[in-house]
Amino acid sequence: MALLELDHVHAYYGKIHALKGISLAVDEGEIVTLIGGNGAGKTTTLRTICGLMRQRIGHITLQGKDLTHYKPHELVSRGVAMVPEGRGVFAKLTVTENLEMGAYHRSDKAAIAQDIQQVFAIFPRLQERRKQVAGTMSGGEQQMLAIGRALMSKPSLLLLDEPSMGLAPLLVDIIFETIQQINRGGTTILLVEQNAQMALQIASRGYVLQTGEIVLTNTAEALRNDPLVQRAYLGLE
């Protein structure tokens, strides 16, 4: 049984048909990526999974249980965490306070403190800036903080929306290495990323979206070698 399954999911922005029968699966322990151009429906797919949007048709299940009627904060308690595009850190709170907010639904104070130290082990730069107000940090540091905050909820499924957006190449490499490290630690990841080349290097499988529909799915290696994918998304001729 897949950890996450979408079965013919349709979603709308008003009268705009944004998702047109999306079906996909993410197995436990995988990194799966969604690639596609702007407006393809990648972010909408993530927002629908985590309850920020509601599908009109279709089903979304986590470990076989229907997620349809859960509110976003309830899904966090069930093991779904999302790092949104644009990071969305609490700009006026410190790094440590942001991480504590990621564990808002937990009451195990000793374990929370231990998990903060684990985040610092993954992102040593956050430990150096643990007392710094988040809004004064660089974009790369805020992205680290957004991922760390999501990890504080102890998710079984981590949704990442454009984690490399706006980052310098060196920081992009660090973020993608960290995503792999988090996955090796047992967290399943569904990744939306404009940098399709990088995404397909770390993912096991991928789905290609166009105007709200899945037009292609295969292993990441097969997608990297697909001439259509190379021309449309990898910048290769």
- Do residues 164 and 175 lie in contact, with contact meaning Cβ atoms separated by under 8 Å? yes
Which whole number is the average pLDDT over 124-148? 95
Please state the separation of Cα 185 from the chain's center in Å: 16
- Distant-in-sequence, close-in-space partners of 217: CB < 8 Å, separation ≥ 6: 24, 205, 206, 207, 208
What share of the chain in percent tops pLDDT 90?
87
Whether the pLDDT of residue 223 is over 80: the answer is yes
**Band of residue 234 on the pLDDT scale cut at 50, 70, 90:** confident
pLDDT in tens, 184-207: 999 999 999 989 999 999 999 999
Q: Is the pLDDT at 6 greater than 80, yes or no?
A: yes
Q: Is 193 helix (H, G, I), strand (E, B) or coil?
A: coil
Residue 237 has pLDDT above 70, yes or no: no
Q: Which has the minimum average pLDDT: 79-88, 153-162, 194-203?
A: 79-88
> Which residues, including other chains, have CB under 8 Å from residue 185's CB and lie 6 or more apart?
none
| pLDDT over 80 at 1, yes or no | no
C-alpha torsion sign, points 172, 25, 122, 43 = positive
Beta bridge partners of 66: 61
Report the candidate in 59, 32, 35 with the shortest Cα–Cα distance to residue 48.
59
Model-wide pTM > 0.85: yes
Distance CA 182, CA 82 (A): 14
* 58 DSSP 8-state letter: E
List every span in the chain annotated with CATH 3.40.50.300.
Answer: 4-79+155-233
d(CA 234, CA 22): 23
The pLDDT, as a whole number, for residue 87 is 77
Give φ, ψ of 39 to 5 degrees.
80, 10
For residue 115, what pLDDT is reported? Answer: 96
Tell me what the pLDDT averaged over the chain comes to.
94
Residue 223 phi/psi, 5-degree rounding, is -65, -40
Side-chain-side CA neighbours of residue 63 (13 Å): 10
Under a CB-based contact definition with an 8 Å cutoff, are residues 92 and 135 in contact? yes
Give the phi and the psi of residue 137 in degrees, each rounded to 5: -90, 165
| Amino acid symbol at 146 | A
Residue 235 confidence class, pLDDT cut points 50, 70, 90? confident
Q: Would you say domain 4-79+155-233 falls under CATH 2.40.160.40?
A: no
* Predicted local distance difference test score (pLDDT) of residue 86: 82
Cβ–Cβ < 8 Å for 9, 21: yes
pLDDT of 166 above 90 = no
